[in-house]
Structures are given as structure tokens and as C-alpha cells.
A and B are shown apart, each in its own frame.
Chain A
Amino acid sequence: MNRDQLVVEKLKTHFPEAVEEVYEFRGEKTLYIKKETIKPVCQLLREDEELQYNFLTDICADDMLPDFPRFAVNYQLNSLPHNHQIRLRTWVEDPEDGPETVASVWAIATWLEMEVWDLMGVRFKGNGSLRRLFLPEDWQGHPLRKDYPLGYEEVQFSFNFDEINAKKPHATRD
């Protein structure tokens, strides 16, 4: 049994509901994990003697607009003792109701989740230090979302103020 199968087997025995789908593309395995179980799954992947995914390489959010569910969050994991990489992917329907933070599993997650929140606006439950990292604190919106314009905005005058304001991305002031 190779490592990819081992991970899936382990997860299926411990959390029968957690793995929604296994996707393979160009030799990379992606496990679609239910959003609610992401933290216990990460805990297991890190703690289990046979798996030991002790290195969180990256957390990255993806905006799938116009598809639904709209957001996907990727966790790129690496097991240094076994030299094996795997990716967890979870769907997020409402960005304000994101997955639980994995900061207690890997310390670096706090910092990476902060980046995701700043640029994509996915809020991680339980991460108390979500703040603007790259952008100024009074910035409105999250620029990596697909409905966030890339420049070329129409100039807002008094006669068309409301019309243009309605077209702008939703302001998420915090």
C-alpha cells in the first residue's frame, strides 16, 4: 500500500465522514475534506506515527466564482520523516464561516491564515489575530476575490454616486 492510500485508509477509519473525494491530477493527490472536520483531520495527520505530516507548507484560498461553493481552502502538507506531500482541500460556502484554525497544530498557521483573510477574506474560526497584514487597516474588501475590480474604475460623481457604489464589491469593514 503506498502512502497516498495509507492516508485515505487512516482517515476513513478515524473519520468515516471526513473525506468527500480523492482527486488526482499530474501525480498530486488532493483530499477533499469536510470543512467541519478539518482540524481533527490535521491533528491526526500530524500526530499519527505512520503519517507524521509535521510541516505545514502553505495555506492558500481559491475563489471559484461563478461556481458554488465559491471558496476553496488548500492546505499543503509535508511529512519530513517520510518525505511525502499531500494536499487537503475544503469547500467554504460563506467566507465569514470558514474552517477552524489549525494554529494549535502548526504554529505557522496563524500567520498564513492572516494572509488568506487579508487578501481573500476567508475568516478562520478561532484565530484571534486576524488583522490586515499587507493592506492598510481601513482597506475595504479583499482584492484577490474574483469580483474585486482590477483598476479601471469609473469616476464617482455626485450624479452617479449610487449607481457606481452599488457595483462595488461588498465592503467588509471590521
Chain B
Amino acid sequence: MTLTPGSDIIQELSVEELRAKVGTGMQIDDPEEHMLLSMGPQHPSTHGVLRLLVELDGETVVNMAPDIGFLHTGIEKNMEAKTYTKALVMTDRMDYLSPMSNNLGYILAIEKLLGVEATPRAQVIRVLLAELQRVASHLVWLGTSALDLAAMSVFLYCFREREYILDLFEMVAGQRMMVSYFRPGGLWRDLPEEFVPAVRHLLDFMPARIADYEALLKNNPIFLQRTKGVGVISGEDAIAWGLTGGCLRGSGVNYDVRKATPYCGYETYDFNVPLETDGDVYARYRVRMEEMRQSLRIIEQALDKLPDGPVNIDDRKIVPPPRSELGHSMEAVIHHFKLWTEGFSAPKGFVYQALESPRGEFGVYLRGDGGPKPARVHFRPPSFVNLASLANLSKGLFMADVVAIIGSLDIVLGEIDR
């Protein structure tokens, strides 16, 4: 199949060729009547540059092949040419709706490879920011997927609250989106003074806002009709297709990386993993709404237990010395120079680190060869794996339902293509 952008696919590829390529084995009565539709890559409801090649019988989807790769920038390859610290900035650009989670996954993998652990204060701050990021990311998901189903006002309200969270990120990292705030061995800097009161303020108004969004949607008959019973996947299929995150828990499978293999001290926080059993678009919506509330609970606990102390480990071979020491300590200057020119060396070996990103299990495979650059970095992006089941979910449904299903899978194309 010629899937290069620019080639006129509709004329080049017959329905038979497409069917052979996608391979479904479905019985079709009259293939002559079928139509091929190219949806995207510039389509508002594909949430990025995703192109779908859809075979339609009237308005019913018979077959579908997702065409990805428009955003492929070779991040995994590029990271092999940078030092461990410098490669961090590339992880922000993958899942651009949750850079904090990506940073954290990569940093945890480095720390596992080095065999170091962050300080208690850094651990709590990491949890705090990762959960803020989860709320922000779910707000974008809720806004855009509701917008796809013609609920315009939800989108505007969601982005208003997301803006507040992005301002919090700017406060700690100086950047709204591409934060790169977590560093090997700790954090870029400690939290500014005004951060904790600002998060407390968020905790004050946010539960009422979430209730507002829910009120806008749960009594909306159009929204209910377009989500209930649409795109159903059973728990067993969801496991076989590797779904994670809200998509898996919407099908009644209780798997959350934060509970299964806790990192950053998640085992010390009290929160529930929301579960729904229907496995349809509405179930995924309910799961993610509840996840936002649980995230707020975790944020509150993190603020309450935020310990004092350093945010970076005391190892100058990994963490650069503070600026104040550079003026009078030759040793600090040497460490600083070595870290920013050569970087630190990680031992030989390979590790896999998983974490629960807003979209599901985000995994990092990292192999070190003893030098200052990673020998191989591989990501397991949840969106990429979740997208694989889109064709199965939408077969036999209307074209309009495909839009609802894409919204409920919550994909980010930057992460899929890398």
C-alpha cells in the first residue's frame, strides 16, 4: 500500500487491495458498492496528524487501516547521539499533553540504571506534578472529545482550568509545556514559595468544576446516545490488544501501574483505581472523570506530607553543583564542566521502567554501554498500542461513531510517531 503523503490513494488502491492489506476475512455481499474514504491527516477529530483509510458500505465502516508516521522525527535514534541529561528534552516532545509523565518515565529509567534513588522531597514533588499533569491532560481529552461530539462549551471550560495548571508549571519550571523539570538525581530546582498556596487554591475550586463538566455531559441526551454502547471491547480482548490506562479499566480490568509496580512512593498514597465494566466510550469517559478526582486526592496528600530537605541527591558525578559553589570551589567547577561537556557514565546493562501516564502504561527500555550516551532507548507509548485496536472497535459502526471512539482512546500522535 502506498501510504506516502501526496500520493492519490483513492485512485491507486482498489477496495480488494485494501482488504487484502488489512486482512479481516469479513464477508461482503457487494464490494462494488463500497467506497474508500481518506480521513485526515488534517482532520480536527483525528487529534493530530492521523490518517484513517476507511472502507464504507453506505455509512457503515467495513474496514479501516490507520496510517501513522506523519510526525515521525526519529526521537529514539536522536537520543542515542546525546548524553543522558541532554536527551531528556526530547521526551517532552513525544506526548506533548503530558511532558511531566514522559520526563518522569525516562528519568526513573536512568536512575534505575544508575542504581540511585531520589530524595524524599523530590519523590513527593514528582508525584505532585505528575498528578497535576494527569488532571491537565484529562482536561484536554475531555474538552476535545466532547467537542467532537458537538459539546462546545465543555471545551472552553476545560481549557480555562488547564491554563491554571500550565501556569503552575511555568511557576516551577519556567515553561508551560516543555518543562524538562525532572532531572537525573532529582529536580531542576526546588519549588518556589508561592507554589504550594497556588495548588491549594486549585484544590479548592477544582472539585466543583469537575462536577460542572459532568453536569454538562451526563444529562446531555446527544452525548449519551453517541457514547453509550459504542465501541465496546471486552476485558479479555482489551488485554490481548494491550490496552492500558482508562481504556483497559473501562473494560473492568483492574490494572494500574501505580498500584501494580509502585514508583516514587505511590504505595504510601491513599487512592482508588476507578473501574467500569461496560467497555464502551461512556465507560472510558466515566473512568477518566473519576481519575481526575482521585488525582486531586493524591495532590492533597502530597501537599500535606511534603517533607523538607534537599531535592537533589548528594552525588556530584550525577547532579551539577549549585551555582553558589562555582565561585569559590575548583572541585565544583570541574564537576560542572565534566557534566556539561561529557556527562555522566551509566553502567552496562538494560532496564525497563513503566509508569502510569494519563494515557496508560508508558514504558522506557534503556540500555547503557558504560559510556555517557544511552546505547538504546525504546519507548512503549500507550497511545501507539491503544491505536492498534481502533480498527476492531469501529468495524460495523457508523462513520460518526469512529470520531467518538478516537476521542475515547485519547491518542496523542506525537507519542505514537515519536
Residues of chain A at the chain B interface (Cβ within 8 Å): 25-26, 28, 30, 54-58, 60, 62-63, 74, 76, 80, 83, 85, 87, 106-108, 110-112, 115, 119, 128-129, 131-138, 143-144, 148, 150
- Complex contact A76–B380 (CB within 8 A): yes
Residues of A near B352 (CB, < 8 A) are 28, 58, 74, 76, 85, 87
Task: Give the CA-CA distance A40 to B349 in the complex, in Å.
Answer: 27
| Residues in chain A near residue B241, CB distance under 8 A | 107-108
B350 interface residue per 8 A CB criterion:
yes
Shortest CB–CB separation between residue B277 and chain A, in angstroms? 16
Of B23, B77, B260, the most chain A CB neighbours within 10 A belong to B77
Q: How far is the CB of B259 from chain A (nearest CB, A)?
A: 9
- Contact A108–B351 (Cβ < 8 Å): no
Which residues from A are CB-within-8-Å of B384?
Answer: 115
Contacts of A134 in B (CB 8 A): 68-69, 72, 417-418
Question: Chain A interface: which of B1-9, B49-57, B325-333?
Answer: B1-9
Q: Of residues 303 to 322 in B, which have CB atoms within 8 Å of A's CB atoms?
A: none
- A and B contact pairs by CB, cutoff 8 A, 27 listed: A25-B349, A26-B113, A26-B349, A26-B351, A28-B352, A57-B361, A58-B352, A58-B363, A58-B365, A60-B380, A63-B376, A74-B352, A80-B253, A85-B261, A106-B240, A107-B242, A108-B240, A110-B388, A112-B385, A132-B69, A134-B68, A134-B418, A135-B69, A136-B4, A143-B77, A144-B77, A148-B77
Contacts of A137 in B (CB 8 A): 1-4
Asked if B74 is an interface residue, CB under 8 A from chain A, the answer is yes
CA distance A133 to B388 in the complex (A): 12
Contact present for B115 and A26 (CB under 8 Å): yes
What number of B residues sit within 8 Å (CB to CB) of A? 44
B residues neighboring A (CB under 8 Å): 1-4, 21, 23, 68-69, 72, 74, 76-78, 80-81, 112-113, 115, 237, 239-242, 253, 255, 260-261, 349-352, 354, 361, 363, 365, 367, 376, 378, 380, 384-385, 388, 417-418
- Whether A80 and B354, one on each chain, are in contact in the complex, defined by CB atoms closer than 8 angstroms, is no
Distance of B340 from chain A, by nearest CB (Å): 21
B242 in contact with A56 (CB, 8 Å): yes
Give the distance in Å from the alpha carbon of A55 to the alpha carbon of B354 in the complex.
Answer: 14
Question: Contact: B380 with A57, CB < 8 Å?
Answer: yes
Residues in B with CB closer than 8 Å to A56 are 242
Contact between B363 and A57, CB atoms less than 8 A apart: yes
Residue of A nearest to B367 (CB): A62
A115 to B76, CA, bound (A): 12
Which A-chain residue is minimally distant from B71 (CB atoms)? Answer: A134
A111 touching B388 in the complex, CB below 8 Å, given contacts A60-B365, A144-B77: yes
Pairwise interchain contact A143-B74, C-beta atoms closer than 8 A: yes
Tell me which residues across on chain B come within 8 A of A30, comparing CB atoms. 350
Contact A58 B380 (CB under 8 A): yes
Contacts of A63 in B (CB 8 A): 376
Q: How far is the CA of A150 from the CA of B115 in the complex (A)?
A: 30
Checking B4, B74, B367, B378 against A138 with a beta-carbon cut-off of 8 angstroms, the contacting residue is B4
Are B23 and A129 in contact, CB atoms less than 8 angstroms apart?
Answer: yes
